[in-house]
Each structure stands twice: as structure tokens, then as C-alpha cells.
Structure 1
């Protein structure tokens, strides 16, 4: 008779697992991120199923020294398989201030917050005093989700699902999603190797408020996409005593930001859901030391969310914004030059700013200076974004005759938008979850078409060509690439059912313990069973 293992099936056991996962300080890029992958693998290996099938659980390398964890529970004769996706990395804890040392110790941190409730924001103070919430970095985003999925794997290992469960617990979701991207080929490999039929991909990211004060509970049938455009501004150098003899890059980037920051023209609406407007993630000049030479090179990056827009469409819109900024820069320069000329009794000069894409810049550089010389250009930086910026800098500096100019380019990461709101199976399961939550627990849950925070569900398929992205992303295929062919082969329906939490990526991040260890687990179990047996 098979041994029934229930370490994570009770409320107490699940909560203990959540705390153990939080205790490991798996900040993206840290040694502890690797340690947590090893811990998850070791915990799974304690299950009798994996002791009998050791090849079904493995560390999957990302290629940079880190690992994700893949684990398959295969039921004899079954092909239908639900893929469980979760991430175990977290953002850093600098925002915790004097409580930084307690950020990964939920019980102690919550106790400290209770004793110092007066310093908390009002909503966090109410939650800590209720005694129903637990605080800590990653507890909602998304160690609770990881624990919930491990509990589902344990349940599958006990033979309690009529189908197969494939867990992907991945690293690096908070930065570049290398964990999920690197497992895409593994999904296809195991699909063939173990004769699997993937019926859906289930994520357990926490619910996110759509606006401040939103207390609605959600499940998600898709996930927002994201593109990260950059604008490299190459002006014209000048002495600070002759500013009108040049064009300051800081002025140029400021006009770009005025065009894009919070510009609701870039908001996309699908069935009543709206993407947040763009916002600046970086803006600076590239002058390395102090001098009285004006900065003539600058760069800015912007977060832009997508739902159904194509890359071609958003590229056209971004270029149009850059053109408007260029004309505004020319107009502002002309006005000030003319006013100064009346004071100085001089002749004002004109300043013309061209807008080009990185693809156009690369084509021009190859034609003018030769492919061999362009191929020899180098880039410097600590991460993929810095490397891309450095590469554009090298190329546009070589082609300085194009200045003043604004170069539109893209940097990593790119998240494709994904939605299964029209998928019959996902619609059926979603309706059942909402009904069960209300009838069994009196909990009202709403369907949201797109998860408001980025998620690894983006890498479960690909619905549009990415030519405009790849040709305008410096060093595509070197510092960043996506397994395009494999993604096109996957096309998994997606669903996200997760815990109730608040303040992800804030020092007041917290989890509703009662919901996480109670109703959520029942909803997940029933949803998995329905996905396996549509």
C-alpha cells in the first residue's frame, strides 16, 4: 500500500513551509537564490514518489550558475498534464530600513510591527492588529505560491489527481525571467519524452490591487505584456559659456519624458481593462566626469505595458512620440536662440534633430564603416540594459555625423502579453472557481483578463512575430534572446489563482494567512482536477 504523505496538506504544515521558504533570502542574483533551488529539490526528493522516480526531479540550469527546479509526477497511463509555474526569487530588502535584518523572519517582523504599529501606514496597521496577516519579504510574492504548488505536487505524489503534474519552480522572475525562459525547451523535451499533453499552465502569483484601496479578490486568465523602449539622445557638445552653440542631451531627454511619462494615449483598453500609462525607469546623461562641457549624450528608458498591441504598432507610436519631442526641442531651441540674439545682437543658428531607429542606425553604420568594424564594437556594463546602452553609445558616436539625433531602441526584458479569456476550458474552470468560492466560503472573486503584475505566464506561447523587437534590440542573441521556435510550439492555456496579499515589493508586504492556508488550497485542488479532466 502506498504511503500517504501529508507534510504540506494541513494548515499548520503549509504555513511552516511558507515560513521556511521565506527564511531563505533568495534575492535575485544572490547565492541564496541558488540555495533555495537546492532546498526545493531536496524537499521534493523526500517524497516517496521521487525516491522511486529520481529522474523526475532535477535542477535545470539557466546558463549563468543558477537553477530552476523541474518535477514531474506521472500517473500511470495518463497524458493530461497541468504545468505549475512559480518563482522563488525576491527583490532586495533595502526598503525595510531598521527592520532589514528581520525581513526574512516573518514571525519576528510581524511581532515588531505589532509593537510599533504607530509607524505603519493605516491599512497595514489595521492588518497587523487584526492578527490575521503575516509580514515579510517574498511572503506574498511569491513564497506562498511556491508552497501551495509544492502541496499540489505532494497531493499528486499521493495519487490524488487523475492526471499528471509538472512543477517548474524558477529563479530570476524579478529581473529577466531567465529561469522560465530557459525551461521552455525542457517543457517540449519532457512532453515528448514522457508522452505528456499539456492542458494548461497554472501560476499562483498573488492578487494585485488595480488601484489604491482596491480590496477586490481576483483570479487571472492572462498576463500583461511589457516592452522596455530606450531613447538615446545625441546632442551637440558646447562650452557652458556658449550653451547655444550646442544642444544639451539633458534637455533632449527631458522632452522625451514629457512626451511619455504617464501619457494615457499609450494606455490600452481590452474588455474594460486598462493598462497603466508609461513611466520612466531611467533617465541620465552619459557624462563621466565634471567639466564645463555640456552633456551631449543622454539616455532614458520607459516601462510600457501591452495587451493586444503588436510590436510594430507600439514601435510606430513610440517613434511618433520621439518625432514630436524632436520638433518640440527644435522649437524651444529656436525660441531661446532668437531671444538671446536680440540681447546679443547676433544671428541665431538653427538646430535640427533627426529621429532614427536602432535598425536604421545599424544599417547606416554597416554601409558607411563596414560590417567588420561594426562587429568589432564593444559594450560595457553590469547588466543587459547597461550593455545595450553602451553598444548604442559606441555606434552612434562612430556615426556622429548623424547628430543631433534621437535613437529609438529596445532593451531586455520583453514580456509577451498572454490571454486565455476565450479558451473554453479556462472559461469553464474560472466560472467553477468563482462559484465555489462564493457558495462554499462566501468569498466574492472576480475574473481579471490580464494579471496586473508581470508574470512568467508570458513565456507559455507566442502570438505575434518579434521582428521589430529583435532588429531594434542591440546585441539581440548575445545578451538576450527568446526561444522563439519553442514558444511558438507551446501555446499553453493559462490561469492564475493565488493568495491574498498586499504591498508587494514594499516593506509592508504581507499575506492573508487564513485565506492562503484555507480556501485557496481547496480552490487550487479543484481547479487542477477540473483542468486535468475537462
Structure 2
């Protein structure tokens, strides 16, 4: 029951927009993602509820890239501006199986998904989804929760702002592609934000990311304002062994075994869990482990490659490789000692186990410096190969593996050895550093039960990596410390001090459950009715206040 009737039809508009946006496919890396931007610009241009003076424009992720960032601005009076932003790309729909045809049509999907879940085991995720759908409070659909309902809520707040003849300040909306991959859209939008503000006479006081919050409970943990976001780096290990015929294993050293020792030691390692925030840190986890063999033969693996997801709060991300290196030395030493003892028991101690009990561990920067000493053209070769591989659509960790292997081959070194590096675009942790904005948020939290009929509280960090890393107030100096250990930084990453917008940034979005799975669903009342009102309330508070003080 709605005890807080809306003077503006937030719920009707938000639900309508959310279903329209969800109904248009936009899977990351597909032509549908490239086609979504122009379509959205047309929708916004034709949307009369955004007011007669709404400005809509687009700009590409980069020259020649068909993916577009879509911007819309509704002006009130003055220069003060709040940015509402989020991504429109989604993960694949193929995991829906025989329900894929309705994965983008939530109202058709709901009864069919519920029927599929009839025999779900009590207490399972499927059982909870069945109960949620039976309650009528939740609506499923690929991308509805993550995060097209958030975009719809932002646009609904824009429409309410446009309908207010006394509106102070301006609202700017930017929808971006590629968040599910490498945030190419947000990175471009962050760089564009400063010039855009200067050209249009804007003062960006706050950016609100509209991403979804997951909550398997009653929604208390989902109805939140996140005052920052976690950061992420991706440590990699290129492991070189001493390959031999499998009939004579003691004469060599299996690269995959060394990599497995690293994987076992690093998994959930407390040394890599950043506990500096109020919320518990997220443990490190292995994302990939594979050997370098192209097919079956009876030779032991000569190389292996692994990488890990490491999240940071306040820890310097450049410190992560120091910790990984220490743990790697410990793990490899224990592994080699154990193998040596086994070889002695077999009566055949020979090969690298007997002659090289210490496996050398290098950084990518050290390997590159060694090759530079004899090959003056290596930097150009690495850049050219990185650009070539990126043009094929190869994932960035795989590009890093290929480039590290290329350097190893040219170095003249022999295994066993381990080369540590970084294998992704880094995401920096951000914090809300503006006390005046925090005061506006505290007032919103205090008044939310009475004004909007909902509980609302603040958390220090959005738990997953997000586009906030590029809009928010992070330590851009970290890029200079991370670049030397990241293959193809200048070719594929291209981040520097001017890459961050550096504005106060928070996350306020819908809540639901199981995004990135076929059970993805949004809690409809909060997402369609309450959230757009909260966004309108927060934006207008900030626009009325004194502005940024940092």
C-alpha cells in the first residue's frame, strides 16, 4: 500500500521506461550494445515528459568505436549540476535456455520462470526466487535490475525536475556502455565531464551512480546510499617450468604444479584482504588458471598463467604485488621442497628440483628492462602486438599473457621462473570527501521514513567494482605506480591523472537479487516508486546547498 502518494507519477513513468529499456537488447560486446546508444538517444529526444528544453546528445567511446555514451540535460536556474549516470550494457541472455525468448520481457518471463522453479529445493536460491515471484513484489528480466531500472529511475527524477517551474540548478544524465567489460564508456564520460562543464557553464556538485544492490534478505541491506566504491587490481602470474616427457617427470618441473601451489596459497589469503573499511573486506579469489599447451601430448606443461581478483578499500593498490610476491615465494619454496623430498624417496633426485631449489620471481617491469638492454625496439613491438590483439577483441588478461610470453621468449632466460604482473584496467577505490554533500545525504537518510516510507542508510563502499571508480574522488597518482607492471598500458589502458572526473560520487540504485543469473529480479516497489523519489529528493537538496568544499 502506498501511504505516500506522489504529486508526480514517478512509479508509472519509471516502470514504463524500465520495461522499454529492458526490452531492447544490449549485451556487452555485441552489435546490440552498439545499437542501443542511438536508439536511446531517439527515445529521450522524443520523450515529452523530460520537458520541451531537454538537450540530448551522444559521444563515442573513442574515435571509430560505434558504442555511444548518451547524455541528456534538463536545466533549471544557475550553474549547480547533479549528474545521474549508469551503464546500459548487460551480460548475455543465453543462460536463460528455453526462456531466452522472453528474457527481455519481464511481465511474460515472470510466470514462465516461476513455473520452471516449481520443484526448487527449499532453502535454495531457486526456491527463494520462486517465493519472490509468487509474492508479486519482484519482477525478473535480464538487465532490469543490472541496471536499466536504475537508469529509468534517474530519468524519472529528471522528468519531475523538468516539471518543476522553480527548479534550481540542472540535472545531467549520462548512460554509458561497457561496464560489464572494462568501463570504456565511463572512462570516456569521466574525461569529457570537465570540458563539458566548462563549455556549458556547469558546476558538477555530485555524481550519482544508479547501479543495483544485491540483498538476499528483507531489503535493509539493499536500501542504501554507498558513499564510495571498492577498487580492483588483477595480479597475474606467468609461470615457466622445465618441460619434459611425462615418462621422465623427475627430470623437469611442471609449470602447472607451480601455478597450482600459487593458487592454493593465495585463495582467500587474509594477507590480501583489505580490512581497512568499516565493512568486512572481500577475500582474494582465483579467476583463471590454465597451462600453455595448445593440445594433447605427453610433455609436461612448460608454462601456465593465472590471475586473481583483489579488491581494495584504502590500501594502496600498488602494494598488492608486493604481498603477492611474498606469498608466491612462500608457496613455491614449500612446493619445491615437498617435490624434492618426494624425489629423494623415489631414489631419483635430478633435474631442476635438485639444482634450483629457489625458483626466481620477477616483475613484468624487470623482465621488460632485461629485454630492453639488448633490444631497443621491444617497446614498439609490445605496443604493436598489444594493439593488434586488442583489435581482435581478445580479453585484456589474455593480451597480458601473450605479451609476457613474448618478452620471456626474447629474454633468453630459462625456467623455472615466475613473472608477476597486472592484467586488467585498474579500478580505484573512491570515498565521498565532501562534508557538505555528506550533510545533505545524512538529512535524506533521516527523513526517508517519513517522506518516502522507506528505511535508508549509508554504507562506506559499493561492494563491487563500478563506474564510480572513474567519476569519483580516487587517488589518480596510483596509475603511475601500476603502469610499469601492466603490459600494454599505453596501448590498451591509457589512464593517467586526467582520467578521473574527481567529483563527489555516491551510488543510489534499486535492490534485488541474483543479477548475472537467470534469476535476476528487482524489488518493484522500491525500484519503481521509491527510488526515483529518493533521487529527486537527493538531487534537489544538493542543488539547493552551498556546493562542493573540497
Q: What TM-score results when the alignment is normalised by the length of structure 2? A: 0.89
Inter-partner Cα distance in structure 1 for 2:331 and 2:535: 49
* 1:287 aligns to 2:293 (yes or no): yes
**Cα separation, 2, equivalents of 1:300 and 1:144:** 36
* 1:474-530: CA deviation from partner (whole Å, max 9, x where unpaired): 01111222243242xx32111111112111111111011111122222211110001
Aligned-pair RMSD on alpha carbons? Answer: 2.4
SS in 2 for 1:71: strand
Alignment of 1:111-130 (within 5 A): 111-120=111-120, 121-130=126-135
Matched, 1:414 2:426: yes
Preserved contact between residue 47 and residue 154 of structure 1 (Cα < 8 Å): no
Cα deviations by residue, 1:351-402 (Å, 9 ceiling, x for unpaired): 43111110111001111x2221453353546222221110001111222425
Is structure 2 residue 488 aligned with structure 1 residue 475?
yes
Q: C-alpha separation between the residues in 2 aligned to 1:374 and 1:457?
A: 32
- The reply to whether residue 73 of structure 1 matches residue 74 of structure 2 is yes
1:283–1:301 Cα contact (<8 Å) kept: yes
Contact 2:50–2:159 (CA under 8 A) maintained in structure 1: no
Shift of 1:48: 5.9
Could you say if the C-alpha distance between residues 186 and 408 of structure 1 is closer, same or farther in structure 2, counting changes exceeding 3 Å? same
- Name the counterpart of 2:438: 427
Q: Does the 8 Å CA contact 2:229/2:429 hold for their aligned counterparts?
A: yes
Residue 86 (structure 1) shift: 0.8
Alignment partner for residue 370 of structure 1, among 359, 367, 375? Answer: 375
User: Following TM superposition, by how much is the alpha carbon of 1:133 offset from its aligned partner in structure 2, in angstroms?
Assistant: 0.9
1:67-125 Cα deviation digits (max 9, x unpaired) = 1112222334x111111111100111232222222211111110112333414522111
From 367, 380, 389, give the equivalent of 2:401: 389
- Cα distance in 1 for residues equivalent to 2:334 and 2:349: 23
Count of residues in correspondence between the two structures: 519
Aligned position for 1:529: 540
How many angstroms apart in 1 are the aligned matches of 2:66 and 2:395?
15
State the alpha-carbon separation in 1 of the partners of residues 112 and 95 from structure 2.
16
2:490 is paired with a residue of what secondary structure? coil
Aligned position for 1:220: 226
Contact in 1 for aligned 2:51/2:163 (Cα 8 Å): no
What is the aligned partner in structure 2 of residue 204 from structure 1?
210
2:250–2:348 Cα contact (<8 Å) kept:
no
Matched, 1:454 2:465: yes
Q: Residue 511 of structure 1 corresponds to which residue in structure 2?
A: 522
1:273 partner SS: coil
CA distance in structure 2 between the partners assigned to 1:415 and 1:182 by the alignment: 14
Query: Equivalents in 1 of 2:152, 2:245: separation in Å?
Result: 60
Secondary structure at the counterpart of residue 59 of structure 1:
strand
Contact 2:132–2:138 under 8 Å retained in 1: yes
Residues 283 and 523 from structure 1, CA distance in 2 versus in 1: closer, same or farther, beyond 3 angstroms? same
Structure 2 residue 175 is the aligned partner of structure 1 residue 175: no
1:329 aligns with 335
Structure 2 residue aligned with 1:3 = none
**CA deviation string 1:253-289 (max 9, x = no partner):** 1011112112222211234212210111111001112
Pair 1:106 & 2:109 matched = no
TM-score, reference length from structure 1: 0.91
How far the C-alpha of 1:49 sits from its partner, in A, is 9.7
Using the TM superposition, give the Cα deviation of residue 50 of structure 1 relative to its aligned residue in structure 2, in angstroms. 8.4
- Give the conservation status (yes or no) of the 8 Å contact 1:232–1:300: yes
Taking the aligned partners of 1:107 and 1:468, their CA distance within structure 2 comes to: 49
Give 1:245 deviation, angstroms. 1.3
Q: Which 10-residue stretch deviates more, 10-19 or 150-159?
A: 150-159
For the Cα contact (< 8 Å) 2:191–2:498, is it kept in 1?
no
| Distance 1:236-1:374 versus aligned 2 partners, 3 A rule | farther
Q: Does the 8 Å contact 1:26/1:88 carry over to 2?
A: yes
Alpha carbons 2:50, 2:158 under 8 Å: kept: no
SS in structure 2 of the partner of residue 274 of structure 1: coil
**The residue matched to 1:25 in structure 2 has which SS?**
coil
Mapped contact 1:223–1:454 kept (Cα < 8 A): yes
CA contact (8 A) 2:268 2:284 kept: yes
Corresponding position of 2:155: 150
CA distance in 1: counterparts of 2:219 and 2:45, whole angstroms: 40
Q: Distance in 1 between matches of 2:349 and 2:327?
A: 33
| Paired residues of 1:365 and 1:374 also in contact (CA < 8 A) | no
CA contact (8 A) 2:255 2:303 kept: yes
- Change over 3 Å in CA distance of 1:424–1:280 after alignment to 2: same
What is the SS of the residue equivalent to 1:401?
coil
Inter-partner Cα distance in structure 2 for 1:504 and 1:157: 32
Cα offsets for 1:130-171 (capped at 9, x unmatched): 011110111111010011111222233335531111111000
Structure 1, unmatched stretches of 5+, are 1-5
Deviation at 1:450, TM superposition (A): 0.3
Preserved contact between residue 10 and residue 156 of structure 2 (Cα < 8 Å): no
Q: Which moved more, 1:217-226 or 1:110-119?
A: 110-119
Q: Identify which range, 333-342 or 500-509, moves more after superposition.
A: 333-342
